[in-house]
């Protein structure tokens, strides 16, 4: 079978499955999820065996230790996948919810009912646990899913998907609800991205290169974020101890993720009180500082920041630091260099806190808290399928609800239009 | 200046204006809208003069009478545009609304705040009134708008936009909030569709050809509907009088619009009671019927329907009629041939009404009412910028709320992530 007809057939059978999934009772979906969680544990050895092949290939190709770490499926990773699916089973089902209903002057009762999107394509890179996470979230929200992971993880992904598919069948759900594209070259992705008739949404997860490739080639709507250049603005009135604690946490607690702080903006009136002690804490934690000229007058050991630093997503223990003359400059800097991801203000001033929340139009805006909270679990969505920095459909961390849409439902008793 | 830099400059200045628009008070926006409404009336002669040029050119090119009718701006059309803007001013402002707020175990208060999308591109065909309607809806929802109308209406569109821009300036709003692309060849559209950095959403309005062109070439998210193949299913238990009244209204009241019925599905057990009288009513109204074999046993004068008829959007006094053996067949027919636009069931049966609402995943699903109600004004949205049959972002008629998105806002008091 050709690659093209292969991908087409997957998409068509996913569309067919989606019509059934849309009308499944919550109980049935939850039962299938619990079976999946159980079967993952039972089949841990099979999954690890398949994963070993991937790891050996990666080793042979000389992939970095960090890459191999992310690729490796241990007993703990299997346990985490299983637990994650149990958590999804415990979440409320968004499908069928009617959020509001209103009556029109002619007596029509109009409401909005939540329904699944249909078929969702996930295009991702090395981490095999995405296979289980994404499949569970899509099933719970009544969507069929087409998973296209990276070539490095293909054996692991197929093995995990097989377990999930078998669990579906066991519970009377078509196994085409969860499918993996078995060919891993980019041609398969290109084929997928053309099938707007069968696939409703594409979510790419991975590096900026992969995401740009998907956006440029897709006829299907794409929800994504390219990168997270997150800012904290330490306002003139900030509690210095609180600012230190939050700025340390936002940079150091887990520097390799998209909601870590990359640029620190400091009001000039607090610079001398705040920066010296903060700088020492960062030095102790091996954070490299790159400062503007004003910053370097206070922190002589900071390297000079270049124009590129203001839009850099380091994902590392590096921080750009800029002193601004006021909040206007801070907001303008974020608008110019930011990525619409996550920004926080540290302040004691009521008016400044409200203005920052109102005027900074990033997907998550915080007052007196770490940027690291911009995460589906942390915000109480229960789970996260990804983060969107595109304002269309979803903005910010996306949970189950963002995998659905709403249709209008109307109860009449004979109304016609005059 | 080259076409490319021309379009780029429009988009960049629109982006800049959007940052200001996002933070305007409702009062200021409403005042500007009322000024626009007034100025349109005052400048009616200028607008009609510009429109006359367009109409003469169209006449010279031999455009159809219907096209010229849609193009012509009379005093009444100006009055309607002005009234429409006044109505938009009277609608509630969606921007800034916080729909819910919840508290996390660590004390963080998390909410969702409604914000504008940013810059919206509207690509449309002959009707100059879209210029005023779209500009008003975008301004009220805090968005900058780039209008790219058809070449036939370019002088009218520029004249209308000029009046609106002057009104903006008068009220201290940048006139780049509302811009018309002055070049009307398709190259300008292609340039626009590349500018994902500056334009957040494209809404194409017009024929299927235009819309497909936009979807295939856009890097920017597009919300659209290709066509409306709307169904009514007359169930076995339907009240025959009600079914007649509704089916007549849905086909005949305004056949040229997307929410008119195009296919009538009739339960076989009611066919003989319902179709003969219904057929006569249609005949009197000059509706051409195209039936399946079973239909033609009852209505011998119906033409035979071909496979193409089941997916046809006639936009005319033509109706495809099919007898189905049960509701399963009706739902399957809609899933196969429908356009996810609008479908209605006529029934007395409680269970069937609920099942139809649940299982038909079109953007608007009705019980015992005409498909003609699938319209922003009729459903109580107050206004309509378009209809979406894509499930992403918005599904069904779109009002002001659909021109916005929600960001997460978070109130903390020093929380860091453990």
Is residue B209 within a helix (H) or strand (E), and if so which, with residue range?
Answer: helix B208-217
Find the CB nearest B414 among A246, A362, A417: A246
Query: Are A417 and B372 in contact (CB < 8 Å)?
Result: yes
Domain A230-378: give its CATH superfamily.
Aldehyde Dehydrogenase; Chain A, domain 2 (3.40.309.10)
Find the CB nearest A408 among B219, B248, B396: B396
| C-alpha to C-alpha distance for B346 and B358, rounded to whole angstroms | 15
Which tokens belong to A344?
A: 């926080």
Span B110-136, mean pLDDT? 94
Span A169-191, mean pLDDT? 93
| C-alpha to C-alpha distance for B411 and A113, rounded to whole angstroms | 31
Q: What is the least distance, in Å, from the CA of B47 to any CA of chain A? A: 31
Question: pLDDT higher for A66 or B213?
Answer: B213
Beta partners for A331? none
| C-alpha to C-alpha distance for B302 and B306, rounded to whole angstroms | 12
Q: Searching chain A, which residue's CA lies closest to the CA of residue B240? A: A414
Q: If contacts are CB pairs under 8 Å, which of residues 129-188 in chain A contact chain B?
A: none
- The yes-or-no verdict on residue B225 having pLDDT over 90 is no
Cβ-based neighbour number of residue B205 at 10 Å: 20
Question: pLDDT higher for A209 or A416?
Answer: A416
Mean pLDDT of chain A: 95
Q: How high is the pLDDT of residue B260? A: 97
Q: Which residues contact B119 (CB under 8 A, 6 or more apart)?
A: B11, B14, B15, B18, B143, B144, B145, B146, B198, B199, B200, B201
Q: Enumerate the residues of chain A whose CB falls inside 8 A of the CB of residue B414.
A: 239, 242, 245-246, 368-369
**3-state SS record for chain B:** CCHHHHHHHHHHHHHHHHHHHCCCCHHHHHHHHHHHHHHHHHCHHHHHHHHHHHHHHHHHHCCCHHHHHHHCCCHHHHHHHHHHHHHHHHCCCCCCCEEEEEECCCCCEEEEEEEECCEEEEEECCCCHHHHHHHHHHHHCCCEEEEECCHHHHHHHHHHHHHHHHHHHHCCCCHHHEEECCCCCHHHHHHHHHCCCCCCEEEEECCHHHHHHHHHHCCCCECCCCCCCEEEEECCCCCHHHHHHHHHHHHHCCCCCCCCEEEEEEECCCHHHHHHHHHHHHHHCCCEEEECHHHHHHCCCCEECCHHHHHCCCCCCEEEEEEECCHHHHHHHHHHHCCCCEEEEECCCHHHHHHHHHHCCCCEEEEEECHHHCCCCCCCCCCCCEEECCCCCCCEEECCHHHEEEEEEEEEEEECCC
Q: How high is the pLDDT of residue A382? A: 85
**What would the pLDDT profile of B145-165 be if each residue is shown by its tens digit?**
999 999 999 999 999 999 999
Q: Searching chain A, which residue's CA lies closest to the CA of residue B366? A: A410
Rg, Å, chain A Cα set: 24
**What would the pLDDT profile of B329-382 be if each residue is shown by its tens digit?**
999 999 999 999 999 999 999 999 999 999 999 999 999 999 999 999 999 998
Q: If contacts are CB pairs under 8 Å, which of residues 62-121 in chain B contact chain A?
A: 96, 102, 104, 108, 110, 113, 115, 117-118
Question: pLDDT higher for A382 or A155?
Answer: A155
Do β-strands A396-398 and A386-388 pair in parallel, antiparallel, or remain unpaired? antiparallel
**What would the pLDDT profile of B398-407 be if each residue is shown by its tens digit?**
999 999 999 9
Q: Searching chain A, which residue's CA lies closest to the CA of residue B102? A: A380
Q: How high is the pLDDT of residue A341? A: 97
Q: If contacts are CB pairs under 8 Å, which of residues 275-334 in chain A contact chain B?
A: none
The answer regarding whether domain A3-224+394-410 maps to CATH 2.60.120.10 reads: no
- Residue A39: pLDDT band by 50, 70, 90 thresholds? very high
Q: Searching chain B, which residue's CA lies closest to the CA of residue A107? A: B369
Q: What is the least distance, in Å, from the CA of B159 to any CA of chain A? A: 31
Contact A134, A145 (CB under 8 A): yes
Query: Are A110 and B246 in contact (CB < 8 Å)?
Result: no
Span A389-418, mean pLDDT? 96
- Residue B63: pLDDT band by 50, 70, 90 thresholds? confident
**What would the pLDDT profile of A125-150 be if each residue is shown by its tens digit?**
878 999 999 999 999 999 999 999 99
Q: What is the pTM of this model?
A: 0.93
- The yes-or-no verdict on residue A195 having pLDDT over 90 is yes
- The yes-or-no verdict on residue A417 having pLDDT over 80 is yes
Span A3-12, mean pLDDT? 91
Q: How high is the pLDDT of residue A181? A: 94
Q: How high is the pLDDT of residue B91? A: 95
Q: What stretch(es) of chain A map to CATH 3.40.309.10?
A: 230-378
Is residue B144 within a helix (H) or strand (E), and if so which, with residue range?
Answer: strand B144-148
Beta partners for B114? B406
ipTM associated with this complex? 0.93
Span B250-259, mean pLDDT? 95
Find the CB nearest A115 among B117, B361, B369: B361
- The yes-or-no verdict on residue A1 having pLDDT over 80 is no
Query: Are A396 and B413 in contact (CB < 8 Å)?
Result: no
**What would the pLDDT profile of B41-59 be if each residue is shown by its tens digit?**
999 999 999 999 999 999 9
- The fold of the B3-224+396-410 domain, in CATH, is Aldehyde Dehydrogenase; Chain A, domain 1 (3.40.605)
**What would the pLDDT profile of A308-328 be if each residue is shown by its tens digit?**
999 999 999 999 999 999 999
Q: Residue ranges of the alpha helices (H) in A43-152?
A: 44-61, 65-71, 75-90, 129-140
Q: What stretch(es) of chain B map to CATH 3.40.605.10?
A: 3-224+396-410
Query: Are A249 and B110 in contact (CB < 8 Å)?
Result: no
Over pLDDT 90: what percentage of chain B?
A: 87
Over pLDDT 70: what percentage of chain B?
A: 100
Q: How high is the pLDDT of residue A126? A: 74
Which tokens belong to B99?
A: 């729909």
Q: How high is the pLDDT of residue B1? A: 52
Over pLDDT 90: what percentage of chain A?
A: 87
Contact A165, A14 (CB under 8 A): no
Span A30-45, mean pLDDT? 98
Span B181-198, mean pLDDT? 91
User: Is B216 near chain A, with CB under 8 Å?
Assistant: yes
């Amino acid at each position: 079978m050709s690659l093209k007809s292969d991908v087409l057939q997957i998409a068509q059978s996913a569309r067919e499955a989606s019509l059934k999934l849309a009308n499944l009772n919550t109980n049935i979906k939850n039962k299938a999820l619990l079976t999946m969680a159980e079967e993952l544990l039972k089949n841990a050895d099979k999954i690890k065996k398949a994963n070993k092949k991937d790891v050996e290939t990666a080793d042979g190709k000389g992939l970095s230790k960090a890459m191999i770490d992310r690729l490796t499926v241990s007993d703990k990773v299997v346990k985490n996948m299983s637990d994650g699916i149990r958590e999804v089973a415990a979440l409320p089902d968004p499908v069928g919810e009617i959020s509001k209903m209103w009556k029109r002057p002619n007596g029509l009762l109009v409401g909005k009912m939540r329904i699944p999107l249909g078929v969702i394509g996930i295009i991702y890179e090395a981490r095999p646990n995405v296979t289980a996470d994404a499949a569970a979230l899509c099933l719970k929200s009544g969507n069929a899913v087409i998973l296209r992971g990276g070539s490095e993880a293909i054996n692991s992904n197929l093995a995990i998907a097989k377990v999930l598919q078998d669990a579906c069948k066991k519970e009377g759900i078509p196994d085409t609800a969860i499918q993996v594209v078995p060919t891993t070259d980019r041609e398969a992705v290109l084929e997928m991205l053309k099938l707007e008739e069968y696939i409703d949404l594409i979510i790419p997860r991975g590096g900026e290169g992969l995401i740009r490739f998907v956006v440029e080639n897709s006829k299907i709507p794409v929800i994504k974020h390219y990168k997270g250049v997150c800012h904290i603005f330490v306002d003139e009135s900030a509690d210095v101890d609180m600012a230190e604690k939050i700025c340390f946490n936002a940079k150091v607690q887990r520097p390799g993720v998209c909601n870590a702080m990359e640029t620190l903006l400091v009001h000039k009136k607090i610079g001398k009180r705040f920066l010296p002690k903060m700088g020492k804490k960062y030095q102790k934690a091996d954070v490299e500082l790159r400062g503007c000229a004003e910053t370097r007058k206070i922190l002589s050991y900071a390297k000079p920041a270049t124009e590129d630093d203001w839009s850099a997503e380091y994902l590392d223990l590096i921080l750009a630091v800029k002193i601004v003359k006021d909040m206007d400059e801070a907001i303008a800097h974020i608008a110019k260099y930011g990525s619409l991801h996550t920004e926080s203000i540290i302040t004691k001033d009521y008016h400044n806190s409200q203005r920052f929340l109102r005027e900074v139009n990033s997907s998550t805006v915080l007052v007196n808290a770490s940027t690291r909270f911009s995460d589906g679990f942390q915000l109480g969505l229960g789970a996260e399928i990804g983060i969107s920095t595109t304002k269309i459909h979803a903005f910010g961390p996306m949970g189950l609800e963002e995998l659905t849409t709403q249709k209008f439902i109307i109860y009449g008793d004979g109304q016609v239009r005059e």
